[in-house]
Amino acid sequence: MKYLKHLIEKKKKHDPIIALTAYDYFSARILEECGVDIILVGDSYGMVKLGYDTTLPVSMEEMLIISKAVSKAIKESILIIDMPFLSYQISIRDALFNTGRFFKETKAQAVKIESLESNVKLIEKMVKMDVPVMGHIGLTPQSVYKLGGYKIQGNDSISAEKLVRLALALEDAGICSLVVEGVSAQCAGKITRKLKIPVIGIGSGPFCDGQILVLDDILGLNPDFTPRHAKKYIDLFSIIKKAVREYSDNVRTGKFPQKKYFVSMDQKEQKRFDKRTERF
Ligand code: KIV
C-alpha cells in the first residue's frame, strides 16, 4: 500500500506522479493494476456520469456510494476523495463530520477541497484536527459561476501572483498536496518549484510534479466534448456503440444466443416437462 509520503518521495526524486479519477469498482481495478499513484473520486462524477452541467448538485450520498465502490478495488494506490459542494463550506462541524464519513467508510487517505482565500482558515483547522487535505486551486469547478465559466486562470502576472500566494498559504495551512487546474504553465511551474508538497496539474502544463486527468476524458466516453487539456487515448464511445449495434443485430437475426450461452433439459426431462404442462 502506498501512503501520502510516497508522493513527497516522488517529488524529491523528480519522478512524475500519475493520477486519474475513478467512479466505480472495475475502473478503479484497472487503475490499480496499472500502478496509478492516486485514484481520485472526483465530483466531476456529476458531469461525466450523471450528465449535470456543473459539479454543484453532487451530494455526499452520491460521493459515498461511488467512493465505497472504488475503495473496494484499492490495494496499492492512494485513494483521495473530493468533498462535494456544500459539504464543507458552511461550518467546520459539517466539514469534519462529512470528511469523517469518507475516512470511516472507505480507504481514503485524504480529502480534496477546492481552495479559495476564504477557506484557507477552515482547511488549517481541519489539518489541525489531523485530516489530510489535498488543496485544489485555479479553475475550481465549484466556483464556476463566480469565475464566469471554465476559464484558464493565472494567465496574467497579477492573477498568477495571487495563485502563488494562495498556494503558499495553503502549504502553510498544512495541506498534503495540491491540484492546480486550468492555470498557465508558467504559474503552475512557479508554484511547483516554490512548494515542498507535491503539485499535481490538470490543464496546467508540464512543469508540475504530476498530472491528473478525468478517466472518461482519456477514454473518449463523451462524443460531444473533450476538454482541451485532455488527450483522448481511445474512442470508447464508438467502440461501445459498435458492440451494441452488433449485439442488436445478432438478436434480430437469431445469431444470439448460441448453444453455449444457455442450458437445455435432457430429452427425458423435457418429455416429463411437456407432459406436466400439457393441460395448461
Ligand atoms: O472532480 C475532479 O475530477 C477533479 C479533478 C479534475 C482534479 O477535481
pLDDT at position 117, please?
A: 96
Region 43-70 average pLDDT: 98
Q: Total structural domains in the chain?
A: 2
Q: How confident is the model at residue 21 (pLDDT cuts 50, 70, 90)?
A: very high
Q: CA 44 → CA 81, 92, 175, 208, 258, distances in Å?
A: 11, 24, 21, 21, 40
Write the residue with the smallest CA distance to atom 2 of ligand 1: 42
Task: Identify whether residues 135 and 28 lie together within a single domain.
Answer: yes
Ligand 1 contacts CB of residue 140 (under 6 A):
no
Task: Identify whether residues 125 and 34 lie together within a single domain.
Answer: yes
Q: How confident is the model at residue 71 (pLDDT cuts 50, 70, 90)?
A: very high
Ligand 1 contacts CB of residue 179 (under 6 A):
yes
Write the residue with the smallest CA distance to atom 8 of ligand 1: 42
In 3D, which of 16, 18, 11 has the Cα closest to residue 198? 11
Task: Identify whether residues 115 and 58 lie together within a single domain.
Answer: yes
Ligand 1 centre distance from Cα of residue 49 (Å): 13
Q: Which of 62, 80, 214 most suits a substitution to test ligand 1, by most atoms within 8 Å of the C-beta?
A: 214
Q: Which of 37, 39, 40, 133 most suits a substitution to test ligand 1, by most atoms within 8 Å of the C-beta?
A: 40
pLDDT at position 275, please?
A: 97
Task: Identify whether residues 182 and 265 lie together within a single domain.
Answer: no
Task: Identify whether residues 40 and 80 lie together within a single domain.
Answer: yes
* Whole-number average pLDDT of the chain: 97
pLDDT at position 33, please?
A: 98
Region 96-122 average pLDDT: 98
Q: Which domain holds residue 140?
A: 4-234
pLDDT at position 259, please?
A: 95
CATH at residue 179: 3.20.20.60
- Residues with a catalytic annotation lie at 181
Give DSSP secondary structure letters for 135-163. Answer: EEEES-GGGHHHHTSS--BS-SHHHHHHH
pLDDT at position 69, please?
A: 98
Region 15-40 average pLDDT: 98
Ligand 1 contacts CB of residue 43 (under 6 A):
yes
Q: Which 8-state DSSP code applies to residue 183?
A: B
Please identify, by atom number, the ligand 1 atom nearest to the C-alpha of residue 212.
7
Task: Identify whether residues 103 and 37 lie together within a single domain.
Answer: yes
pLDDT at position 216, please?
A: 98
pLDDT at position 127, please?
A: 98
Please identify, by atom number, the ligand 1 atom nearest to the C-alpha of residue 213.
6
Region 182-209 average pLDDT: 98
Region 242-271 average pLDDT: 98
Q: How confident is the model at residue 242 (pLDDT cuts 50, 70, 90)?
A: very high
Task: Identify whether residues 128 and 247 lie together within a single domain.
Answer: no
Region 23-43 average pLDDT: 98
Task: Identify whether residues 196 and 250 lie together within a single domain.
Answer: no
Task: Identify whether residues 34 and 16 lie together within a single domain.
Answer: yes
Residue that the C-alpha cell 448453444 belongs to: 259
Q: Which of 31, 181, 213, 215 most suits a substitution to test ligand 1, by most atoms within 8 Å of the C-beta?
A: 181
Residue 171 amino acid letter: E
pLDDT at position 87, please?
A: 98
Task: Identify whether residues 138 and 213 lie together within a single domain.
Answer: yes
Task: Identify whether residues 206 and 271 lie together within a single domain.
Answer: no
pLDDT at position 18, please?
A: 98
pLDDT at position 111, please?
A: 98
Ligand 1 contacts CB of residue 66 (under 6 A):
no
Residue 253 amino acid letter: T
Task: Identify whether residues 76 and 196 lie together within a single domain.
Answer: yes
